[in-house]
Amino acid sequence: MDNKLSLELKHISKTFPGVKALNDVSFSAQPGKVCGIVGVNGAGKSTLMNILGGIHQPDEGGEIFINGEKVVIADPKASTELGVAFIQQEVQAFDTMNVYENILAADLNKWRKKHSLALDRAAMKKEAQVHLDALDSHIDVDAPVYTLTVGDKQIIQIARALSQGGRILLFDEPTSSLSDHEVAMLFGVVRRLKEQGYIIFYISHFLDEIFELCDNVVILRDGQLVDQAEISDINKEQLVEMMLGYQIEGNTHSREHAQDEVIFKAEHISGEKLPRDFSFELHKGEILGVWGLLGSGRSELFNTILGIDKMMDGKLFFKQDGELKEITQKDFYKHIGYLTEGRHYDGLFLNMPICQNITSSDLDQFAAKGTGILNPAKEHVESRKLIEQVGVKTPDENVKVSKLSGGNQQKVIVAKWFLKDPEILFMDEPTKGVDVGAKNEIKELIFDKAEKGTSFVVISSELEEIMSLCDRIIVIYEGRLVGEVQKADFSKESLMKGIVSQEDKDAE
Amino acid sequence: MSEKLKRFTSNNKQLLIMLGVIAVVFIILSLTVPNFSTARNLTNLLQQIAPIAVMACGATYVLVIGGMDISNPAVMAASAVVGVYYMTTGGGNLVLGTILIVLTGTFLGLINGFAIAKLKMVPMVVTLSMMTIGTGLATILSGTRGLPILPASFSNVLNKTVVIIILLVVMIVMDFILTGTKFGRKLYYIGNNARTARISGIDSENITMFTYAISGMCAGIAGVINTASIATARANMGPQSQILDIISAAVIGGVSPNGGSGRVRDAVLGAVLIVGLNNVMNLLAVSDYYTTLIKGGIIIGAMGLASYRQQQAAKRGV
Amino acid sequence: MQSKKKFDIFNLSSYLVLLAILVVFGIVGNNFLAIKSIYATINNGTPLILITCAVTFSLLVGIIDLSCAAIGYAAGVTSGMLMHWYGVAFPVALLVGIVIGVFLGWINSLLIVKLKMNGMLVTFGMMLVLRAYGRIITNDNTITLGDHVKAIRQARIAALGGLQVTVIVLIALAVILHLVLKYTAFGRRLMLVGCDENVAKRIGINSDKVKTQALLLEGLLCGIAGSFFWIVVEGAIVTTGLNSYEFLAIAGACLGGISLLGGRGTIFPGAVIGSLILLFLAAGMANAGISIFVTPFVRGVIIFIAMYIDALRTRRMMGNKLG
C-alpha cells in the first residue's frame, strides 16, 4: 500500500430544492484509521456518501482531494476508478452464482485467457482466493452464494471492493442484519484492513460498534459537521448529545392522559430473526412509542405482529365485548390500520386517484351487503371529507396520487386509515420524508384521533418527535424489550439507558 | 353542464376513441367494400366476434391483476369437447351439457389460479402447461373420428341472436363487476401494487385464484358459443394462436399489459376491431397470410402504444 | 466455508426423468432402444434441441421470447426458397438464413430493450408476422428441396453405427454453446444480469448491452436451427414447419432447470436434456402405440409437475423472497 493515500474534503455543501442537505463540511481521513460517521436520520450521512460515490455533485466551492490531488467524482464509475468502494447494508450479491464469480463480477473482460475467449477460471479463483485470504476468510471460492450466511456475503462484498482496487472503503451500516458472531468476524476483517493501511469509513447507528471499532468519529447534525473527535476523548453520552444537539423538553403537548383500559396485549412475540420474545400492552386511546436504533427490529416487530412476516412464537390478545381474548393475526388485521415506512413501496396505489386510495382500507363501507356493489357517490363524499380533515392539498379527489408531493401523499395514507377508523393504528415512521409543516399537521391528527379513543403504536427514529407525540415509550434493542419510559420521565438519557446498559452487557 | 360533459369525456376517453375508430372504419368499409354492410354479413361478423370478445373479457380481468393466461383457447376447446362428449357419446341432457361446458372451463381456470396464487408458480408457465393439457384433453376425448353432430335443437336455441345477447350480457355484467363492485376494485388494487393491496388488508391470494377461474369460465362460455355455431366440438376449434387475438383485443382496448388499468367494454371493442379486420380481409379476398401479417403488426403497434402510454404516465407522475 | 457439495436431488432430476422415460419405453415399447431408432429420434429432434439452446440465452436474461421458432422458420423458408428459385448453393443459402436470424434478433432487441415493450407479447406478435411471411413467400405450398440438400441429408458415419452428420453438427454446436455460457465473460455476464439486473447495473455492467447480445445470439441460433437443421431433416419447406416449437423449447428449457425468471440454467444438461426428455417422450409414446392424441396431454402434465418442482427449488434457494 503506498504511503501517500489520503482523503480530504473541503467545504462540501449540497443544496437540494428547499433543503440544505450538507452545509460546509470539511474533514480528512488517514490511512490505517477507522473513521466513524454518526448522525441521526437526515443528518446528511447519505448525501455525503452519495457525493463520494459520484451520485451527487457537491455545490460550487466544495473540493475533494484524494492522495493530495484535487479530484472531481463525476459519476459512480469515476468513484470506483479513484479507489472508493462501498460496502452496503443490503448485501449486493448474485445468489445463484459462485463465490469467485461474485467477487470478480465487475470486470470480467480482465480475466480472458490470452488468444482465447474463455475465462481463465483458475486465475480467477486464485485472485478471489487472494482477496479472501487478505480478509482471513475461509469461504470456499467455489461455493454457490445462496448457501452462505449473510455475514459471508458481506465478506464477499468486501472482497469485491478490494478486487476493484478499492482503497477507500465506506461501510454503510454493515452489521444491521448480522448475528453477533458474524459481527465479530466482520470487525476482525475491518481491523485487518486497517492494519494494511486502507482508509475506512464506518457508518453505524450502533454506538457501541463505533466505540469498539473506530479511532475517530465525525459527527453530523442537520447537514453540518458538529465535531471530528478522537474516540478516546469522548464518551457515549457526549456523542449522543452531539448527535441530537438539543435538550429535549418533555411533555410539550397537554392532553388528557390515556385511559387505563388495556385494549391489546402481545405476549412473547418472536419472528424468524427479530423480534425475540417481545411482550407489551396497549391502552385505549394511548399513543405508544416504539423506540430503537435502526436495525433493532422495530419494523420487524410490526410485521411479525400483523402477520406480514412469519410469527414463530407468541400470542395476541384483543379486547372484544369487554373481555381480553386471544385473537388470530388474520382477525386482528380487521381491527387495525398499518401505515408502513415505504410510502411508494407498499403504502399507495400511485396510479389511482386519491379517492380510491383512501377507500381501499375499508371498501365494505361503500359496498352493498351481499352484492358488493359500490356506491361511488358515497366514496367521493367520504373521501372529500377526509381530504379536508387531514388537509391534503389537491384540486379534487380524482387526482392521481403520483402527482402529489411527498407530504400530501403521506396525508393520503393517513386519511386512508382514518377512513377505516380502526381501534388500533400501527405507524412506522409516520412523518418520514415529510416537510416540517406537514409533520406537525400529521402529529395534530394523531392527537385528535387518540382523544377520540383510537390507540396508536408509533415507530419514529426522531427522538424529539417520539417524545412529543407519545404517552409512553417502549425501547427495543436487538429485537428485545429493554426499557419502558413513562411520559413524566421522558428524556434522551432515560431512553438511551436501556440501550447503553444492554450494549455494556453485550460487551462483557 | 359543460363541466359534466368534460368529466364524462375524460373518464371515457378510451371508449370514445374506440367508438370513433370503429365508426370511421365502419363507414369507410360500408362505402368501399362490397357486401360489408349487408345484414347477413354483419350478423355473421357479430357471431365471429362473440367467442373472442367473451374470452377478451376474461383476459381483461387477468391482465388487470397483472397476470397472464395463455391457456384460454385450449381451455375453450377442452371444455367444449368435454360437454359435447357428454351430450353425444355420453347421451347426456343438452342443458346439463351446456352447463358442463362452462363448469369445465371454470374448473380448469381454477386449477391455473390455484397453481399461481397458492403454489406461487409463474403464470406464464402454468397457463402454458394448461394449454397443452387442455389441447391434449380435447384431442383424447374427440378421438380420431371426431365427435358426432349435436341435435339441431342445440344450435337452434343458441342461434345468432342468442349468441349476441350472451355476449352483451357477459360484457355488461363483467364490466359492471370490474368497475362497480368491491371485487372488481380489488383487482385494480392488486394490479396497481400488490404489496399495498396486502397491507390494506386485501386477500390477494384468493382473489387471484378466482380471477383465473373467471378467465376459465369465459373460455367455457366461448366454448358454448363455438359449439353452437359448428353444432359439435373439435380439438382444433381453439388454435393456440387465437390467444393473440384475445390479448391484442384487450391491449388495443387500452388494457395495460402490466396490470392495474383497463375496462371490459373497451376490450370487447378491441375484439370488434381485430375480428372485424379478419372479416374485411376475407371479404376482400386477402389471403389468410396477409391477415396474420397485419394482425402481428397491429399487436406490436399496440404494445408500442402501451409502453408509450406508460412512459408518458411515468413522466407526468414524477 | 460450509456446505461444499451437498447431495442435491434437484440437480439430478432431469437425468432421472430422461432415464425413467428410456427405461419405461424400453420395456413397453417395440425395439425402442435400438441404436437406429435412438439416432432417428435425435436427428428429427435437432431443430428443437438447438432452438431450446437458443431460448436458453434469452431466458437467462429474463426475456421470454415466443418468436424463436418463427425466426427459425422465417430463416429456413428464406434459405430454402433461395435454393428452390435460384438454385443457390446450400452453404450460401444457409449463410443468408443465419444473417436473417441475427437481423430478427436485432429487431426484437430494438423493441424489447430499447423501446422497453412487453417482451412476451411483442415476440408473440413477431411470431405471427414471421409465420405469415413464410406462408406468403411459399404461397402456402410444401416445397421439396430434393437434390439441394440430399447429400447432407444422407450423410452418415458408418463407424458410429450410421449416425447422421446433422447430429454431429448439433453436438459440436451444443458443445461450443456450453463452453461459451460456462467459460466466457459473455456467458458470465448473462448470468449476472439475469440473476439481479439492479445489482449488475450498480457494479457497472451495461445490462442493456448484455440483453441485446443475448437476443442477437438467440437469433443467430434460431437462424441455424431453421435454415440448417429443419430443412435438412425435412428435406422440404413445410407450411407447418416448427409449429409450436416455441412452446416446446420453453417447456424443454423448464424441464432442464432453466429459470423463467432469469439467471439460472445451463446448455448441458439443462437445455439439451430438457429437450431430449420431450423428444423421447413423444417418440416413446408413438413407439408404444399410444395414441398421438394423448401425447400433448401427458406432456402438459409433465411440464406442470416439473415447474412445480422448480418453484419449490427456487423458493428453497431464495428463501421466501420471491413468494
Provide φ and ψ at A323, rounded to 5°: -140, 140
B186 in any annotated domain: yes
* Cβ contact, residue pair C299, B297, below 8 Å: no
d(CA B165, CA B47): 11
Contact B186 A363 (CB under 8 A): yes
- What's phi and psi for A325, nearest 5 deg? -120, 150
Statement: residue C254 has pLDDT above 90: no
Q: Are strands A34-38 and A199-203 parallel, antiparallel or unpaired?
A: parallel
φ/ψ of A70, rounded to 5, equals -75, 130
Distance from CA of A156 to the nearest CA of B (A): 31
Residue C75 has pLDDT above 90, yes or no: yes
Mean pLDDT of B31-49: 84
Contact C307 B125 (CB under 8 A): yes
pLDDT of residue A508: 56
B249 interfaces chain C, CB cutoff of 8 Å: no
pLDDT confidence of residue B172: 96
How does strand A472-477 pair with strand A480-486? antiparallel
Hey, are the CB atoms on A373 and B181 less than 8 Å from each other?
Answer: yes
CB proximity under 8 Å: A 406-435 to B: 416
Q: Which secondary structure element, helix H or strand E, spans residue A183, and what is its range? A: helix A180-195
Say how many Å lie between the first and final Cα of chain A, rounded. Answer: 35
Assess if residue B8 is contained within a domain.
no
B5 within domain boundaries: no
Cβ <8 Å between A94 and C203: no
Rounded to an integer, the average pLDDT of C158-171 is: 90
C195 contact A CB<8A: yes
Record the pTM: 0.80
Q: Which of B114, B124, B128, B198 to mutate to test the interface with C (most CBs of C within 10 A)?
A: B128
Give the nearest partner residue to C132 out of B122, B296, B307, using CB atoms: B296
pLDDT number for residue B318:
39
Q: C-alpha C62: how far from its chain's center?
A: 16
- Shortest Cα–Cα distance, B273 to chain C (Å): 16
Long-range contacts of residues B28-37, Cβ cutoff 8 Å, at least 24 apart: B29/B280, B33/B280, B33/B283, B33/B284, B34/B283, B35/B283, B36/B280, B36/B283
Is residue B242 a part of any domain in this protein?
A: yes
Strands (E) located in chain C: 143-144, 156-157, 163-164, 236-237
Average pLDDT, chain C: 87
Question: In terms of DSSP bridges, do strands A199-203 and A168-172 run parallel, antiparallel, or are they unpaired?
Answer: parallel
CB contact under 8 A, B140 and C294: yes
The order of strands in the sheet holding A168-172 is A84-87, A168-172, A199-203, A34-38, A216-221, A224-230
Burial readout C57-74 (b: 16 or more C-beta within 10 A, e: otherwise): bbbbbbbbbbbbbbbbbb
Residue type, B113: G
- The CA distance from C250 to C60, in Å, is 12
pLDDT of B42 strictly over 90:
no
d(CA A324, CA A368): 32
What is residue A250's predicted lDDT score, i.e. its pLDDT?
A: 40
Cell of A379: 366514496
Residue by residue, DSSP assigns C174-211 as: HHHHHHHHHHBHHHHHHHHHHH-HHHHHHTT--HHHHH
Whether the per-residue pLDDT at B252 is higher than 50: the answer is yes
Report the pLDDT value the prediction gives residue C323, as an integer from 0 to 100: 30
DSSP strand pairing (C143-144 vs C236-237): antiparallel
Choose the mutation target among A303, A362, A363 for the interface with B, i.e. most B CBs under 10 Å.
Answer: A363
User: What ipTM was assigned to the predicted interfaces of this complex?
Assistant: 0.85
Task: Give tens-digit pLDDT for B192-223.
Answer: 999 999 999 999 999 999 999 999 999 999 99
User: What confidence tens digit (pLDDT) does each residue in B219-242 have?
Assistant: 999 999 999 999 999 988 888 778
- In this prediction, residue B102 carries a pLDDT of 97
Q: Tell me what pLDDT residue C5 has.
A: 43
Rounded to whole angstroms, the Cα distance separating C30 from C290 reads 12
Number of residues assigned to chain C? 323
Q: Is A96 on the interface with B (CB under 8 A)?
A: no
The minimal CB distance from B121 to the residues C116, C131, C311 is found for C311
Domain residues for the domain of B274 are 15-316
**Residue A194 DSSP SS3:** helix
pLDDT tens sequence across B119-170? 888 888 889 889 888 988 998 898 878 889 998 889 888 988 899 999 999 9
Cα–Cα distance for residue pair C97/C78, rounded to 1 Å: 6
| C254 shares contact with chain B (CB less than 8 Å) | yes
DSSP code, position A136: T
Q: Does A118 touch chain C (CB under 8 A)?
A: yes
Q: Is residue B7 part of a domain?
A: no
Q: Which residues on chain B are in Cβ contact (under 8 Å) with C294?
A: 136, 139-140
A-B contacts (CB, under 8 Å)? 71
- Pairing state of beta strands A336-339 and A424-428? parallel
**Contact call for B181 and A371, based on CB within 8 A:** yes
Note whether B303 contacts C140, CB cutoff 8 Å: no
Whether the per-residue pLDDT at C313 is higher than 80: the answer is: no
List chain A residues with pLDDT less than 70: 1-3, 17-19, 41-42, 176-177, 245-259, 294, 433, 435-436, 500, 502-508
Residues of C in contact with A111 (CB under 8 A): 185
- Evaluate if residue C270 carries a pLDDT over 60: yes
Which residue type sits at A269?
I
Q: B24-35 pLDDT, tens per residue?
A: 888 888 888 888
Q: Is residue B1 part of a domain?
A: no
B121 chain-C contacts, CB cut-off 8 A: 307-308, 311
Q: Which chain B residues are Cβ-neighbours of A400 within 8 angstroms? A: 317
Closest CA–CA distance from residue A342 to any residue of chain B (Å):
10
Nearest-CA distance B297 → chain C (Å): 7
Please state whether beta strands A216-221 and A34-38 pair in parallel, antiparallel, or not at all (unpaired): parallel
**Overall number of domains in chain B:** 1
All chains having 3 or more CB pairs closer than 8 angstroms to chain C: A, B
Residue B120's identity, in one-letter code, is K
Q: What is the pLDDT of residue A497?
A: 77
Higher-confidence position of A17 and B293: B293
Phi first, then psi, for residue A134 (nearest 5°) are -60, -25
**CATH number of the domain that residue B217 is part of:** 1.10.3470
User: Would you call A351 an interface residue with chain B, using a CB distance cutoff of 8 Å?
Assistant: yes
Percent of chain C with pLDDT over 70: 93
Q: Give mean pLDDT, residues C1-29.
A: 72
Would you place residue C10 in the very low, low, confident or very high pLDDT band (cuts 50, 70, 90)? low
Instruction: Give me the DSSP letters along A369-428.
Output: TTT-BB-HHHHHHHHHHHHHHHT---S-TTSBGGGS-HHHHHHHHHHHHHHH--SEEEEE
Any chains having at least 3 CB pairs less than 8 A from chain A are B, C
* Closest Cβ opposite residue B317 in set A349, A350, A361: A350
**Does any CB of chain A come closer than 8 Å to the CB of residue C10?**
no
Q: Are C51 and C249 in contact (CB under 8 A)?
A: yes
Point out the residue among B189, B261, B313 whose CB comes nearest to the CB of A360. B189
From the list A308, A374, A403, the residue facing B185 with the nearest CB is A374
Tell me if B4 is assigned to some domain. Answer: no
B6: in domain? no
Say which of A338, A349, A363 has its CB closest to residue B193.
A349
Is C185 an interface residue toward A (CB < 8 Å)?
A: yes
Q: What is the dihedral of CA A178, A183, A189, A194, to 10 degrees?
A: 120
Q: Is the peptide bond before C269 cis (omega within 30 degrees of 0)?
A: yes
C135 touches chain B (CB under 8 A): yes
Q: How far is A255 from chain B (nearest CA, A)?
A: 30
The 3-state DSSP class for residue B87 equals: helix
Instruction: Pick the more confident residue, A132 or C316.
Output: A132
Q: C244 falls in which pLDDT band (50, 70, 90)?
A: confident
Q: How far out from the chain centre does Cα B51 lie?
A: 7
The interaxial angle of helices A406-420 and A436-451, nearest 10 deg, is 10
